Amino acid sequence: MKKSKILLLLLLLPVLCYGQLIGFGGQYSNGANGQFFASMAFPTLHEKNKLNTFVSSGLEITTSGGAEMSGLNLKPIQIKSFLSEDLFNNNPFTILVGVDGGYLFDFRRGQKNGIVLTPNVYVDYKFFFVKAGYDFDVSNGRNQFFARAGVGIGLGVLKMFAKTRIW
């Protein structure tokens, strides 16, 4: 088991170095006694469109802490929307709504891995962000609400230093 974790880390290292939205902090979820999380994402398709959407890929890692679902969640598809160009371009904060699709490797004993869909809302301001959503484990019938708060390097930081625009 230890060798497979090291191999997975070495395979993901190039992806981690390419990440453009990186964050870590605390997570609240049903039944959890406190969790740590780390997340990383990078845009994969970001062309101008009427819905102000883009597609990114990434991963999230959460510690157990008594939550229904935790572990390594590989997210190859994250569809996000800025809602409107004016909202993004004329405010110091960023609001994104979206849905993530991924595969959860639940490292706890007796828990099953599975496909997880996560509708969510993300808000950031400078280095700080909040993300709330609902994880649906469609493979095993589990689900959980979560709220995360943390610090990171993302769109809020870019807006701090430059006149950032969507397109």
**SS3 annotation, the chain:** CHHHHHHHHHHHHHHHHHCCEEEEEEEEECCCCCEEEEEEEEEEECCCCCCCEEEEEEEEEECCCCCCCCEEEEEEEEEEECCCHHHHHCCCEEEEEEEEEEEEECCCCCCCCEEEEEEEEEEEECCEEEEEEEEEECCCCEEEEEEEEEEEECHHHHHHHCCCCCC
* Residue 34 near residue 158, CB atoms below 8 Å: no
* pLDDT over threshold 90, residue 27: yes
- The arrangement of secondary structure in 15-161, i.e. its CATH architecture, is Beta Barrel (2.40)
* pLDDT over threshold 80, residue 9: no
The pTM assigned to this predicted structure is: 0.81
Residue range 31-58, pLDDT digits in tens: 887 899 999 988 888 788 888 898 999 9
Q: Would you state the pLDDT for residue 74?
A: 94
The domain limits of the chain are 15-161
Side-chain-side CA neighbours of 73 within 13 Å: the count stands at 25
